Homo-oligomer: A and B are copies of this chain.
Amino acid sequence: MTLSPSDKALVPFVSVDNMMKLVHHIGVEPMLRGLADYIEADFRRWELFDKTPRIASHSAEGVIELMPTSDGEVYGFKYVNGHPKNTREGLQTVTAFGLLANVGNGYPVLLSEMTVLTALRTAATSAMVAKYLAPRDADTMAMIGNGAQSEFQSLAMKAICGLKSVRLYDIDPAATEKAARNLTGMGLDVVACRSAEDSMEGAQIITTCTADKQYATILTDNMVGAGVHINAIGGDCPGKTELAPGVLHRSTIFVEYPEQTRIEGEIQQLAPDHPVTEMWQVINGTARGRTSPEEITLFDSVGFAIEDFSALRYVRDHIAGTDLYMDLDLLADPDDPRDLFGMLLRAGG
């Protein structure tokens, strides 16, 4: 099929089908734990990375974003869209793919689907953070919003934080039913709840992950008691939040990259100088996490390029020696680099 390009001209590609096979090859929970380890390791060396807010192209229907970063040796970026209306047309709200490249010569080294991988990395990040911030012995989670991310969140909390029980709630009972069905037999006690309040009964971890693009109030101030960890996933772009300002004012707030979170996260509702703690500093020991059992900790998560970078590194390392990728003839590779035209001529026979 190809004119035998050299190894460097072929880029390993992981399709959706192969990504799903990789998940089953490794196991969902071991892969979530592995991803969390890679993400934690990259949070620990956070200062080393080139960081920039994502580059967004907005339209009336949604947004297309590029999220690049680099650790000086490897460059990565993710393409991701967000189109809330897509669901109505039977399409994914979010699709994504990503790439790793060698900083030294600029040659791509991995192209991968990232719709499935983003779901996994988002859940792994939430659980890795909850391991640091949730109350000791937290074993019950309220999962509010039972869309595409909910099962991943539940299993990551089980695999990484020892979660035993998940209490599901969604305004659409069919979503809750779907999540409960998917989580059957996975080793979690799964409870379908009739209201957000109901779902929070006995929960030390509260995960909000709803999809509507609006200033919503999934958690009102009086719903949230002391001694919980809130994992707020759904508020992730300008004009899209889930928590009442009162909840934010009672919480100690942890973020990924403040420059981005202040635009996209729950804290877009607060003053631009409202104090937040950068999660990487908690992980490397230079900032405090939870300081008392009564504290309300809030992870105001919007997703950051470094998490995608970690996830792509994990995939790159774990497809080695498998047949779960194909080589794409993505890069021109003439014998003489100056003779691109000669290569083209010879291809014509």
Contacts and interface: CB of A to CB of B under 8 A. Distances in A.
Interface string A327-339: 0111111111111
B55 A115 contact: no
A338 B148 contact: yes
A267 interface: no
B86 A57 contact: no
B90 A106 contact: no
A93 B64 CA distance: 29
Nearest to A81: B106
Nearest to A339: B178
B66 A336 contact: no
A72 to B, nearest CB: 7
Interface in A309-349: 328-345, 347-349
B178 A332 contact: no
Interface in A44-89: 50, 52, 55, 57, 59, 61-64, 66, 68, 70, 72, 75, 77, 79, 81-83, 86-87, 89
Nearest to A9: B16
A254 interface: no
B148 A341 contact: yes
A1 to B, nearest CB: 7
A222 B179 CA distance: 76
Given A15-B2, A17-B347, A152 B103 contact: no
Nearest to A73: B59
Given A1-B17, A175-B338, A82 B106 contact: yes
A182 interface: yes
Nearest to A172: B338
Query: By DSSP majority rule, is chain A's interface helix, strand, loop, or mixed?
Result: mixed
Given A17-B2, A113-B330, A147-B338, A68 B55 contact: yes
Interface stretch (A20-28, A275-283, A296-304): A20-28
B337 A87 contact: yes
Interface string A84-125: 001101111101010101011111100001011001000000
Contacts of A274: none
A151 interface: yes
A309 to B, nearest CB: 12
27 contacts: A16-B329, A16-B331, A17-B329, A23-B344, A52-B55, A55-B55, A57-B68, A63-B106, A64-B75, A81-B107, A83-B105, A86-B106, A86-B337, A87-B338, A90-B337, A92-B340, A93-B337, A95-B107, A95-B331, A113-B329, A113-B332, A147-B338, A148-B334, A148-B340, A148-B341, A152-B341, A328-B328
Given A90-B337, A91-B333, 7 more contacts: A16-B331, A16-B333, A57-B68, A83-B105, A83-B106, A97-B330, A182-B345
